[in-house]
Each structure stands twice: as C-alpha cells, then as structure tokens.
Amino acid sequence: MTVITKLNKAIVVGAGLAGCEAAWQLARRGADVTLIEMKPKRFSPAHSMDGLAELVCSNSLGANRVDTAPGLLKEEMRRLGSVIIECADEAATPAGGALAVDRALFSELVTARICSCPRITLQCDEVSEVPAGDCVIIATGPLTDGALYKSIQDNLGGSGYIEFFDAVAPIVSFESIDMDKAYFKSRYDRGTPDYINCPMNRDEYIAFWDRLRTAQEAEVHGFEDKLVFEGCMPVEVLARRGEDAMRYGPMKPVGLRDPKTGKTPYAVVQLRRDNVAGTMYNIVGFQTHLTFPEQRAVFSMIPGLENAEFLRYGVMHRNTFINSPQLLDKCYMVRKSPGLFFAGQITGVEGYVESAASGLVAGIGAFCYINGYPAPDLPATVAIGALPQYISNPAVRDFQPMSINMGIIPPLEHKVAKKDKKMAVATRSLEILAGLKNSLYLPEESNNENTD
C-alpha cells in the first residue's frame, strides 16, 4: 500500500521503548517526527545509559512461545514491523523459552536504527510542558516528574494521576556464584537450561525468610505495602505476607529438581543471564528496597551466593500512571484532547513489550489522526488490541497496571481440547491480524501474507 501523508509532522516526547516504537511507526509510514529525549542532559533515578530504549528492571522481555500471551504479542509486533522486537531478536541471549537480551547491545541497536532514520530528528532536551503541536505523543515513562508532570496533570484536568512504587532486582557476577551448590536448569527442562538455581532446604529457607522480613529498608517517603504493584513487588514485602509466600512466588521449586540429589528442593532462588557474555546474572523476582548493606547481608544467605559480587544493588523508585480508562481511547489518544496521545507505562500497561506495543499502536493512531484517516480498530481478539481495549474501558474501576495475559483476550467461540486452547487462540489472533493490514497502513515491505 502506498501512503500519501497530508500533514506529516509529529512530536514524540521520551525515547524509551514506547517512544522509539511510536516514532518508528510514524516515520516508516512517511511522517516526519521530532523525538525529544532528556538524556544525557538529565537522567532519571533508574537510568544510567546514554542510549535510547534503556532496560532497567530486567533484561527479560518475557515468554517467547506464541502459545503464551507475551509470546503472541511479540509475534504480532514482529509482523507489524516493530523496531523494538527486531532489535531484541538481534540482541537475544539464551534464556530458555524467554526472550532475554544483552541490555547494552539492545540499546545500541535501537539507538542506531532511530538515529539513522531520515524522517526522525532526535532532539536531546528536557521538556517542561506538553509541547504545542497538532500531534503529540507523551511517552515519558513511569518516572515522569517535575514541571512536565504538572503540565500533564493540567492537560488532563488536574486529577489524572495515580502513584505506585516499583523495585528492581540486584545483579551479581557469574564468577562469584558457587556452582558447587547451584545448578543450571530451566523449569520442567523446557528450552535450554539457562537459569542458575540456588536450592534451599527447609531450615535454610526459614532462616532466610525470617531474616528477610525484618531486614532494614531504605527510606522512601510515603511508601506503604498497599501501594506496591503486585507484579513487581519487593521481595521483602512478599516475605512479610507469610512464611510460604515466597515459596509460591519467585522461590517456587516445582519443576526444578536438583540433578545432584535427584530431589526437588524445598525452595529455589533463580538467576537469569543479564548479558550475552554470561558474566552477569539477575536474581529473578528479587526486586528490593533494602539498604545496600542489608542486601549484601541477607542475599549472601542464599546457597551459592555466600561470596557473591554485587554488580548492581536493587533500588526502588516512584512510578506514575494516568487513569487511562477515564481518559484514553483505543489508540491511546486523549478523548477530550484530539491529537494528544500517551504511550508506555505511563498509560498503565505493565512490562517492556507491552510498553513498546502501546507505542506501536499510538504511532499508527497518530499517523491516522494527522492525515484524517479512520483510526485502526484493533479488536481484543488480537493481543496488541486487547491491551488498549482493556485500559480504555471506562467500566474498569480501581485501575491498576496490566500486563498482557490470556485473561483479557476473548475466549474461542468453539470448543477445543484444553491442551490445544492457547495455540488455537494464537492462531486465531494471527489470522485476524493478517486481515487488518489495510487499516494499519503498513509500508510495502511489511505488507505480506505470512501467517506462519
């Protein structure tokens, strides 16, 4: 399909995953984009790299199998020409059935794609107010603060924000892990055995749990357990919820039989590779806000990590998101302010891939808006449509961030054996997506019939 733009200028604020994806989707359809990023002029508390699309909380982009909701979303994005998924695939590191990436390489690849695109002008500056323009996408992330925070609030009527707190996990060096006590294995032997597992017996677990739940946290004004988003809960908060809470969460031992003993441990701490070289490992599910000395003291109780070298300690930071069900439409545009879009975690989508997916949809929606074309109507039967359908539903109350999951995708209309149901949902989604291509104004090179 050849697309002729009538008005071809847009502004995207924020060059994280969502902002880069939005800018890319606009540009590849023929629009000129000014992409504004405050780094390296200013860094948020959670960021340290100069490059664009920096991953902070983890290097994992979630499951990659198409019969899972996260895997289906990734495959849909591949077929829609996502720059984020394209770069992620190139920067992938071994992680069983998940798509994990070398974070530095991933950022380098996205930065190179964006900077080499002739229709994207990267402007390094800090924005203090919502820019004036016919089409603006705000993708400033969950740490939006200061004058811009106030400007967005004013644009949304003064009461559009909710706050919660988010935590990130520590990273240790591989060479400091005692592999005489730990072992490589993926749960149920699915995929390659890329996770390091540190097993605990009951006595070790109880001692660790007891120490963790009383460990000293760093001071955060206004932090309370009830404000912690369940999907990224600090492990010490989880520990306070009961003796077995961690054993049914990040320390679940099911499917992780110890090859040294032939038995399933009482509890397991998993570590996931954080870079291609395999020199850095992230402690899975151990987001934390403990003080740095406490992290070293408590996490060194984990078998195999007694002498661990901490390359990054866990930190906590404030996250914000708007009340999207009352504000946004299915293309992430503000209903009462046509031409103003939001994308990324600030909309209440939760997760790296979900953020990029929102940028993809917002970019297409913005392109349609500036050219007077009908907005794409992505149904909830495709994963990339299920998220905006959910977050834009005014009936949703007590709104909390949402990751992609099969629960927000409508069930099949015909009966299928339980073991085949997820794959059938995925097949349906990809078939529907193929039929929507004309309404998405895909460039010629991405307009193909491949639905394998």
Task: Sort strands 161-167 and 267-273 into parallel, antiparallel or unpaired.
Answer: unpaired
Q: Which pLDDT value is given to residue 160?
A: 63
pLDDT at 438 over 90: no
- With contact defined as beta carbons under 8 Å apart, do 18 and 11 qualify? no
Model confidence band, residue 395 (pLDDT cutoffs 50, 70, 90): confident
Nearest-10 crossing angle of helices 17-28, 352-371: 40
Q: Which residues pair with residue 326 across a beta bridge? A: none
**pLDDT tens string 262-285:** 999 999 999 999 888 888 899 999
- Both tokens of 429, joined, read 């989604």
Q: Which pLDDT value is given to residue 452?
A: 37
Of the listed ranges 56-70, 151-165, 222-236, the one predicted with least confidence:
222-236
- Both tokens of 436, joined, read 């929507």
Of the listed ranges 191-205, 275-289, 350-364, the one predicted with least confidence:
275-289
Which pTM value belongs to this model?
0.81
pLDDT at 167 over 50: yes
pLDDT at 309 over 90: yes
pLDDT at 162 over 80: no
Q: Which pLDDT value is given to residue 135?
A: 97
Spatial CA neighbour of 111 closest among 203, 17, 191:
17
pLDDT at 21 over 90: yes
The DSSP secondary-structure symbol of 406 reads: G
Q: Which pLDDT value is given to residue 7?
A: 47
Whether the link from the prior residue into 40 is cis, omega within 30° of 0, is yes
Q: Which pLDDT value is given to residue 231?
A: 60
What mean pLDDT is predicted for residues 336-343? Answer: 97
Q: Which pLDDT value is given to residue 47?
A: 67
Each as own residue / partner, the long-range contacts of residues 440-443 (CB below 8 Å, 24 or more positions apart, any chain) are: 440/80, 440/364, 440/376, 441/1, 441/3, 441/29, 441/364, 441/367, 441/368, 441/373, 442/1, 442/80, 442/81, 443/1, 443/3, 443/28, 443/29, 443/81
What mean pLDDT is predicted for residues 149-165? Answer: 81
3-class secondary structure, 9 = strand
What mean pLDDT is predicted for residues 49-57? Answer: 85
Mapping DSSP onto H, E and C, the string for 124-168 reads ECCCCCCCCCCCEEECCCCCCCHHHHHHHHHHCCCCCEEEEEEEE
Instruction: Report the phi/psi class of residue 351: left, alpha or beta, with left for phi > 0 and alpha for psi in -120 to 50.
Output: left
Model confidence band, residue 224 (pLDDT cutoffs 50, 70, 90): very low
- With contact defined as beta carbons under 8 Å apart, do 172 and 183 qualify? no
**pLDDT tens string 170-188:** 999 999 999 999 999 998 8
Q: Which pLDDT value is given to residue 277?
A: 84
Q: Which pLDDT value is given to residue 447?
A: 45
What mean pLDDT is predicted for residues 371-394? Answer: 95
pLDDT at 43 over 50: yes
What mean pLDDT is predicted for residues 398-415? Answer: 88
Q: Which pLDDT value is given to residue 159?
A: 63
Burial of 415 (0-12, 13-18, 19+ CB in 10 A): exposed
Of the listed ranges 38-47, 351-360, 432-441, the one predicted with least confidence:
38-47
Q: Which pLDDT value is given to residue 229?
A: 57
- With contact defined as beta carbons under 8 Å apart, do 303 and 200 qualify? yes
Q: Which pLDDT value is given to residue 230?
A: 59
Q: How far is CA 300 from CA 81, 176, 308, 310, in A?
A: 44, 11, 7, 10
- Both tokens of 40, joined, read 């390296």
**pLDDT tens string 63-103:** 999 999 999 999 999 999 999 999 999 999 998 889 999 99
Q: Residues 6 or more apart from 237 whose CB is under 8 A from it?
A: 225, 228
φ/ψ of 114, rounded to 5, equals -65, -45
CA distance 438 to 446: 11
DSSP H or E segment with residue 280 = strand 280-283
Amino acid at 64: N
Model confidence band, residue 227 (pLDDT cutoffs 50, 70, 90): low
Higher-confidence residue of 60 and 432: namely 432
What mean pLDDT is predicted for residues 402-416? Answer: 90
Spatial CA neighbour of 107 closest among 168, 16, 200:
16
User: Mean pLDDT score of the chain, rounded to an integer?
Assistant: 89
Q: How would DSSP label each residue in 21-59?
A: HHHHHHHHTT-EEEEEE-TTT---TT---SSSS---S-S
